[in-house]
Structure 1
Amino acid sequence: MYFAALLARTEDGWEASDTELDDVETLDDLADFARGATADDDETVLVLLEQEDIWYGVVRIDGEDDPRVFVSNAAAAARSAYGELLLTPELLGREPEDDSTLDSLTDLDGTEDGEPDADTGPDTDADAGPEAPAGTPAGPVGDTELLDDLGVSEKQLLALNGDAVNEIAEMLGAADVLETVR
């Protein structure tokens, strides 16, 4: 189960809105979506995402600046569609993939290299769920200081677990407004 909310910092305090991310495909789309949720282009907007007690992510958008991202557990988030939005190659310290390499990964029969043939029997790990891409860290990634100026230190951010989104909202003084959309 996922939960996603926008918190916009306005002159009157924090405003929250529940959000559906079904039409969001990239981090840039998410940033544009968040910018559209405020009346003032210079307002700070936070996108808070969580998958139960497995992982959480925070995206901070300040005006037209590039979004700042923190993900609590990259390996867990990589197995999630919403997590994949946040885990850009840059965030993971990788070079962006070149589309031309896709051609070299496909055999002439249309299967990818390393993909089992249909006649080799069932995959015994099919129930294990998707795996994170190789080299994806099993811990936090991103900007651990993205909430420092808002009252949530790097140490506090890294110590969160469980209901992290509510704890972040509490530290920001936005717990009541977040509760209205939860």
Structure 2
Amino acid sequence: MYFAALLARTEEGWEASDTELDEVETFADLTELAREAADGDDTVLVCIEQEGAWFGVVRVDGEDDPRIYVSSAAAAARSAYGEILLTDELLGRVPEAPEDLDSLVDLDGTEDGEPEPDGDDAAPEPDAQAMPEGPVGDPGLLTDLGMDEKVVLSLDAEDALNEIADVLGCTDVLEAVR
């Protein structure tokens, strides 16, 4: 089971809203959703969790580049919502431009008519790249809000969003949308 919420900081404190991610297909869509919830350039946190498996936090401050933290890349990679957060930049991969791939030929290194390598000699599929088992991203994204990066790294996926809300002082507003 998934839970997603937006926590937007306002002059009056934090406001939470339940977030439906069915229309979100890319990280850019998620960032835009967060910016729409912002009160000017104030901070918005997008919090996503898959019960007991992983959690992620995206921090958007105005037009600054969003900051991301995901507790377990491997677990998030098996989730449609997690895949949205696992950007090429976050994982340190060079994005492939489809137009560049169309211009390449003989990607497997063989000449036309040569048999392709089989079994153990074949290169792994790009999608089969190993995901890091542990956390990825910026564990310091909540430091100025009162949560040290060591604490973020030690959060259990089961209680993480509640603990973050406790530190931010918005447990009641988060629970209201849960």
Q: With the length of structure 2 as denominator, give the TM-score of the two structures.
A: 0.83
Q: Could you say which residue in structure 1 is the equivalent of 2:114?
A: none
Q: Alpha-carbon deviation of 1:98? A: 2.6
Q: Alpha-carbon deviation of 1:57? A: 0.1
Contact kept in structure 2, 1:52 and 1:163, CA below 8 Å: no
Q: Could you say which residue in structure 2 is the equivalent of 1:121?
A: none
Alignment of 1:101-140 (within 5 A): 101=101, 133-140=128-135
Q: Which of 162, 173, 179 pairs up with 2:169? A: 173
After TM superposition, which residue ranges in structure 1, 4 or more long, deviate above 4 angstroms?
102-105
Matched, 1:90 2:86: no
Alignment of 1:6-85 (within 5 A): 6-38=6-38, 40-85=39-84
- Specify the code of the residue in structure 2 equivalent to 1:25: E
Q: Could you say which residue in structure 1 is the equivalent of 2:144?
A: 149
- Specify the code of the residue in structure 1 equivalent to 2:142: L
Gaps of 5+ in 2: 109-116, 119-126
The CA distance in 2 between the partners of 1:144 and 1:79, in whole Å, is 21
The CA distance in 2 between the partners of 1:166 and 1:97, in whole Å, is 37
Contact kept in structure 2, 1:78 and 1:133, CA below 8 Å: no
Give me the CA root mean square deviation: 1.9
Deviations 1:37-67 (A, max 9, x none): 13x2211000000000100000000001111
Aligned length: 157
> In terms of Rg, which structure is larger?
2
The CA distance in 1 between the partners of 2:88 and 2:130, in whole Å, is 11
Fraction of identical pairs, as percent: 65
The CA distance in 2 between the partners of 1:47 and 1:169, in whole Å, is 12
